[in-house]
Amino acid sequence: MNSIWTIARKELSDSLRNRWLIAIALVFAVLALGIAWFGAAASGQVGYASTPATIASLASLGIFLIPLIALLLAYDAIVGEEEGGTLLLLMTYPLSRGQLLFGKFLGHGLTLAFATLIGFGVAGIAIALLVEDVAVGALAAAMSRFIVSTILLGWGFIALAYMISVRVSEKPVAAGLALGIWFFFVLVFDLMLLGILVASEGKLSPELLPWLLMLNPTDIYRLLNIVAFGEGAQLSGVLSLGADLPIGAAGLWFALVLWFVIPLAAAWALFRSRRI
Amino acid sequence: MSCFRLENVSYRYDKALVLNGVDLRLESGEILGLFGHNGAGKTTTIKLILGLMTPSQGRVSVLGGEAGDPHVTQHIGYLPENVMFYPQLTGREILNHFARLKGAPLRQVPELLEQVGLGDAMNARVKTYSKGMRQRLGLAQALLGKPKLLMLDEPTVGLDPVATADLYRLLRKLRDEGTGIVLCSHVLPGVEPYIDRAAILTDGALKAVGDLSALRRQANMPVTLSIEPANGTPALEKAIAGASASNGLMIRKDNGRLQVDVRPSEKMALIQALLNSGEVQDLGIHQPTLEDVYVHFIGSGGLAHRGGAQ
């Protein structure tokens, strides 16, 4: 455990040193406040609209931003050590590959968690203090749910980035593949699902289709943050499939947890079989 | 106590046989020079001892345990060739990081940095370090936790002559304290006085291993006598021809002296006869150097073809 913490501690201090943590937190805070106040500007209204609308907008933006930041933070975790010439040296220490990988995950995961907590937390507190008629309890619950799911989504993409990082031997290749992952889950997947939906002309089992959403952590994340507002929640596009899912919020949380546990375990297995 | 023992170790990667039936050991308080050209199997040997790879055949035991066991690696210090560190950290921060990983006390860090001559630069970022300073930091890193087995790959690269002499002095001190040391170097002449035994690897096989005099005996290479004539070269040549038991001695003229290559078994008889002849003003004996022995074992033209001992 000491070795894991030593690796994590270095990652954390690196993200403080290179200002990653503070930069991410700042971006989150500015975006959250911007969306809270100007999110409804398109409909001719400036000012805080409602908590569900704000969270839905934040989640829509989050699916673009969080995976990108997580992938950027983590894509060079192992390949960067290898290219920098430190991986071989690290592996001659009493440190297993699993300890190195989990230490990195702890460090990157905590960096993202702190940045999310600080960025969106500050925004939440600002809304609670500045908006007069906001229901603070509901806001706190929605914000907490949003922050925790954002952290889990970020961890998922950190683990996906590790699957690349332990496999390739050049950083630019890792960066390219990480962007490919972002492109697939954030831009392509829903279009593909929509395409399957239209092309199948109802021939596909209606019970099966909603489950396909579970194959994309960003869809789970959006469902979690929108479905939580109950019957009146607006599910648009492929997310409307989610209304037919026979699992509740707990199931969605579980799926989001699996989305970082399974890729992390896969990255570990891939790393163990790698020749150094 | 044995620091490591390789017994009939082979390593196969894809279809290539990288190491072939290597038997090698290192005792505590001994410095072993490991020499071989690029691709000879030197790095593979080191990686097997470090537990980074497992042999396809044979057995590797290190410090009485299995290679790669964390309890074993804790007592190994390793300086890789072209050692690299995190450029944004200071020398002290880097050593603190590695000390924590090794479970070594942090109070060792400033002491070690002083010892390798980085006392004044310990709080500067590594990206401002010269190659020699990085190398010294690498050495300090290898010495963390007072290792029982120290493996140094090209430790003198980037070091000036003074720092190189300091390094060898330090290694001798560590050896005298009981540390087993493996030294891989392509600077063969410089390393000769500091190693107890040499192992020569070529094409994955151990060609020779032993102390330098044993290797010289095994190679049976000629010794060169450098003789200054007392009464002119022709008289000395005649005396040599008369004294030599075997014909065809290799004789070269060099600045008024004669250089004579003689088999070690015939050396003493020839010297005795020449001294008795009264034709010798001065006589010097040049034993084959480590480099000569190395070239002998890797085969003629080895250096030219392989770009030097690596």
Local confidence pLDDT in tens for the 276 residues of chain A: 689 999 999 999 999 998 989 999 999 999 888 888 887 666 667 777 788 888 888 888 889 999 999 999 999 999 999 999 999 999 999 999 999 999 999 999 999 999 999 999 998 998 888 888 888 888 899 999 999 999 999 999 999 999 999 999 999 999 999 999 999 999 999 999 888 888 887 777 777 778 888 999 999 998 888 776 655 556 666 667 776 777 778 899 999 999 999 999 999 999 998 887
Both structure tokens of B21: 């039936």
- Give dist(CA A201, CA A196) in Å, integer: 9
What pTM was computed for the model? 0.86
Instruction: Give me the pLDDT at residue B308, please.
Output: 41
For this complex, say whether ipTM is above 0.90.
no
H/E element, B240: helix B233-243
Instruction: Give me the pLDDT at residue B305, please.
Output: 42
Shortest Cα distance from B283 to chain A (angstroms)? Answer: 51
Of B53, B80, B102, the CB nearest to A93: B102
- Give dist(CA A114, CA A109) in Å, integer: 9
Which residue matches tokens 């959006």? A222
Q: Do B80 and A85 touch (CB under 8 A)?
A: yes
Instruction: Give me the pLDDT at residue A232, please.
Output: 53
- In this structure, are residues B123 and B87 in contact, taking their beta carbons and an 8 Å threshold? no
- In this structure, are residues A263 and A156 in contact, taking their beta carbons and an 8 Å threshold? yes
Q: Do A3 and B101 touch (CB under 8 A)?
A: yes
Both structure tokens of A225: 């943050």
SS (H, E, C) chain A: CHHHHHHHHHHHHHHHHCCHHHHHHHHHHHHHHHHHHHCCHHHCCCCCCCHHHHHHHHHHHHHHHHHHHHHHHHCCCCHHHHHHCCHHHHHCCCCCHHHHHHHHHHHHHHHHHHHHHHHHHHHHHHHHHHCCCCCHHHHHHHHHHHHHHHHHHHHHHHHHHHHHHCCCCCHHHHHHHHHHHHHHHHHHHHHHHHHHHHHHCCCCCCCCHHHHHHHCHHHHHHHHHHHCCCCCCCCCHHHHHHHHCCCCHHHHHHHHHHHHHHHHHHHHHHHHCCCC
- Give dist(CA B226, CA B251) in Å, integer: 10
Both structure tokens of B51: 């537990």
Shortest Cα distance from B294 to chain A (angstroms)? Answer: 29
Q: Do B101 and A95 touch (CB under 8 A)?
A: yes
pLDDT in tens, B249-297: 788 888 889 999 988 888 888 899 888 888 899 999 998 988 889 988 8
Which residue matches tokens 């690029």? B38
Instruction: Give me the pLDDT at residue B301, please.
Output: 47
- In this structure, are residues B95 and A10 in contact, taking their beta carbons and an 8 Å threshold? no
- Give dist(CA B52, CA B67) in Å, integer: 8
Shortest Cα distance from B94 to chain A (angstroms)? Answer: 10
Quote the DSSP letter at residue B194: G
Q: Do B52 and A88 touch (CB under 8 A)?
A: yes
Instruction: Give me the pLDDT at residue A15, please.
Output: 93
Of B76, B82, B100, the CB nearest to A85: B82
Alpha-carbon torsion (B100, B102, B107, B113), positive or negative: negative
- Give dist(CA A57, CA A38) in Å, integer: 11
Instruction: Give me the pLDDT at residue B236, please.
Output: 87
Distance of CA B144 to CAs A174, B91, B96, B149, Å?
33, 13, 10, 12
Picking from B101, B143, B153, B182 by the largest number of A CB atoms within 10 A of its own CB, the best residue to mutate is B101
Total residues found in chain A within this entry: 276
Q: Do B71 and A92 touch (CB under 8 A)?
A: no
Contact list, B66 vs chain A (CB under 8 Å):
none
Residues in chain B predicted with pLDDT less than 50, given as ranges, are 301-310
- Give dist(CA A142, CA A55) in Å, integer: 7
**Listed residue (A218, A221, A216, A214) closest to A247, CA to CA:** A214
Q: Do A84 and B84 touch (CB under 8 A)?
A: yes
Q: Do A2 and B98 touch (CB under 8 A)?
A: no
Please state the separation of Cα B155 from the chain's center in Å: 10
Instruction: Give me the pLDDT at residue A41, please.
Output: 67
